[in-house]
Amino acid sequence: MKRLKKYWPFMRASIMQMFIYRGTIWLWLIVDVFQFAMMVFLWKAVYQNNDVINGFAFTEMLLYYLLTNLFFVFSDVEAIYAVAEEIREGRISLYLTKPISYRLRLYFELLGRSLGILILLIPVVFLTGFTLFLIFDIVWIVTLEQILIAVLYVPLVFTLVFSFSFLFGTFSIYTTNVFGISIFASVFIRAVSGQLIPLAFYPDSLLSVLNLLPFRFVSYPPLVLLGKVATADAWIGLATLAAWVLLFVGGTALWFRASLKKMVVFGG
Amino acid sequence: MRFFKIYGLFFRQYLKGLMEYRVDFLIGMFAFLMSQGAGLLFLYLIFQSVPTLSGFAVEEILLMYGVGLIPKGIDHLFFDNIWLLPRTIIQGQMDRYLLRPISPLYVFLIERFQPDAFGELVLGTILTSVSISRLALNVGFFQVLVLLGIILVGVFVFTSLKLLTASTSFWLKNSYPLMQITYNISDFTKYPLSIFPKAIRFLMTAVIPFALVSYYPALFLLGRLPFWQMFGALVLVTSLFSFLGYLMWNRGLKHYESTGS
């Protein structure tokens, strides 16, 4: 714990940084709300002749997307941009000479970023949710245990996606098209995690492949809160995810050490 | 004539760059192909559970999707530089374009050629031709000609809206969110317009008129909308927006005050 303490200022600083840009962030969030509204109409058309599709009722589907939007702040691939930029601009060499871990510093910076956005996002999600409850007469029962599990998933999901994005960020040693890489990575995560559409919609053949990957756990918090995953399974999932995270963290550590040898920074 | 010659010169330089970064080109193309692929996957999965969406079969929706994707791709290919306008203005780099003995807009537009767009173009073409053949639509010489016309005019729907929203950054500095919200709406025009309430239908027909390049052309090809109604609206609205975009750009240039460094 004491070792981690020196990284807190980085986290605090980036939380505060998000507040500097709160106007812009809120503008983005309004964009999201608008897109969410379009989504509601789309699903309404899908549910025109069905009450339940793949285990989801219409209102459950809306809640699923609302919660997915909320938890999405922890599965953003922002690390790609951060790593790539520091490599391309050569700033990475400044960090490497300091007595702090490059990856941990970045981890806490991005965690702070996510927390900052979360704070700004909560009122928006709350208002959107409130409106949905009023319009569609939604009844939603959630237990304390479900909330606890969902919260416990968050740091693991964040670490998983962070490691994954960090790995992709180091690809900028080999290519300059960082925008392309980040689109690739974020579309991939969206599709295999259930952010695009609940994984229950996938055919069995595809699901059996996705079950081999850890990314399905990214959508577990909303699924648990909606009661779509039994709490017993969620606890097992949590342990499985923890093992995956260890693997990912170890893997990126090794990969990063190898990439550092390939990296060339001009000047200083 | 002079414009074409200059474009040729720029393009040759650009190709040299492309040859140097071949992997970048492949990554970009693949990324945009995949990003559209995710949209297709979504549609596919939904149609596993329902036979029709607002009365449209999956092939009919793919037709809307495909037709709209082609002008979007062409705009992305040639006029991608507009996305960089806010940054150019904030950094005071607009001075460069103003000093040249040719239209600043022209120089600004041709500065970037974006081959990532081939992903969208390829997919759009495949979707359009496959859905036309699977629907066994009666597509003759006239329809092909109209389709080419839609694509040609449709490019300017995207370009003019981008120019219009980007040019606000001459005053607002950062007009990214505005550009993004406009552009994101084009993602929703791959669904039939009829699923949306009246206000949004109006919005996507006349205010952010992406439906003019996807939904209505598809209705025309399906034989549910007369040619003149579809094409007339497209030309009318596009001319209006091109005029507004150009006006906004010109006004903005007059207002531009550089950064003083």
pLDDT per residue of chain A (268 residues) written in tens, 0 to 9: 777 888 999 999 999 888 888 877 888 888 888 889 999 999 999 999 889 999 999 999 999 999 999 999 999 888 999 999 888 888 888 888 888 899 999 999 999 999 999 999 999 999 999 999 999 988 899 999 999 999 999 999 999 999 999 999 998 888 878 888 999 999 999 999 999 999 999 999 999 999 999 999 999 999 999 999 999 999 999 999 999 999 999 999 999 998 888 877 765 4
Which residue among A24, A42, A50 places its CB closest to the CB of B195?
A42
Closest residue in A to B45 (Cα–Cα): A201
CA dist A71 and A163 (Å) reads 17
CA distance A252 to chain B (A): 22
ipTM of the complex: 0.87
Between A24, A176, A184, which is nearest B30 by CB? A184
The answer to whether the CB of A140 falls within 8 A of the CB of A46 is no
Contact residues of A toward B, CB < 8 A: 24, 27-28, 30-31, 34-35, 38, 41-42, 44-46, 48-50, 53-54, 174-177, 179-181, 183-184, 187-188, 190-191, 196-197, 201-203
- Is B261 a domain residue? no
Determine the average pLDDT of the residues in B204-222: 93
Instruction: Please state the domain extents for chain A.
Output: 8-260
Long-range contacts of residues A25-31, Cβ cutoff 8 Å, at least 24 apart:
A25/A117, A25/A120, A26/A120, A26/A124, A27/B177, A28/B177, A28/B180, A29/A120, A29/A121, A29/A124, A30/A124, A30/B181, A31/B177, A31/B180, A31/B181, A31/B184
If one counts the domains in chain B, the total is 1
Instruction: Name every chain B residue with its beta carbon within 8 A of the beta carbon of A31.
Output: 177, 180-181, 184
Closest CA to A49 of B50, B234, B14: B50
pLDDT the model gives residue B167: 94
Interface of B with A (CB under 8 A): 21, 23-25, 27-28, 30-32, 34-35, 37-38, 41-42, 45-46, 48-50, 53-54, 116, 174, 177, 180-181, 184-185, 188, 191-192, 195-197, 200
Name the percent of chain A in helix, strand, coil, to the closest 5.
80, 0, 20
pLDDT tens digits, residue range B198-210? 999 999 999 999 9
The boundaries of the domain holding residue B154 are: 2-255
Verify whether the Cβ–Cβ distance A41 to B27 is below 8 Å. no
To the nearest whole Å, the CA of A98 is away from the closest chain B CA by 31
In this structure, is the dihedral angle defined by the CA atoms of residues B222, B225, B227 and B232, taken in order, positive or negative?
A: negative
In a domain, B71, yes or no: yes
Predicted pLDDT at B17: 77
Phi and psi based region of residue A31 (left: phi greater than 0; alpha: psi -120 to 50; beta: remaining) = alpha
SS3 (DSSP) at A230: coil
Of B25, B27, B195, the CB nearest to A181: B27
Half-sphere exposure (Cβ direction) of A94: Cα atoms closer than 13 Å: 7
